[in-house]
Structure 1
Amino acid sequence: MGRSGARRSAHPHRRGGVDANSTKEHLYELARRLDIEGRSTMTKDELVAALQKANDRASARALAQDRPDD
């Protein structure tokens, strides 16, 4: 028999490809590479959220490019 209910993520501490267990320093370095404004004053949770948002934007752009023109 199969499992019932929704499948949980294999990485429960990841949010949108961002490892929330990473150190603040690592998250800051990722934010620096992505040129996220305001990163120097962000908390760890804010860095995770900003990186998630940047990943979401990049994913949306990639999907938009993959769609054929109508």
Structure 2
Amino acid sequence: MLSEYYEQIEAIGTDIALGILFLLIGLAIQDVLKRADVPKFGRVMVWIVLFLGCFGFIAKGIIQVIWESQLAG
């Protein structure tokens, strides 16, 4: 039974691992910004760039699901 769903389990595990990685990167960036006493404008720019990176990853996943569903159907 496990071998039947191996690809789905692998995809879900990868998504979870990348989500945790993004969280840890965010926490590390927050710590660095606090310790370096970065001005508010700099902090906003850093968080915008981080958000756009996460958004790109999410958009890629959505596009991939749509693309694969169109090829299968």
TM-score band by shorter chain is 0.3 to 0.5
The structure in which a higher percent of residues are helix is: 2
Q: TM-score, normalised by structure 1?
A: 0.45
Q: TM-score, normalised by structure 2?
A: 0.43
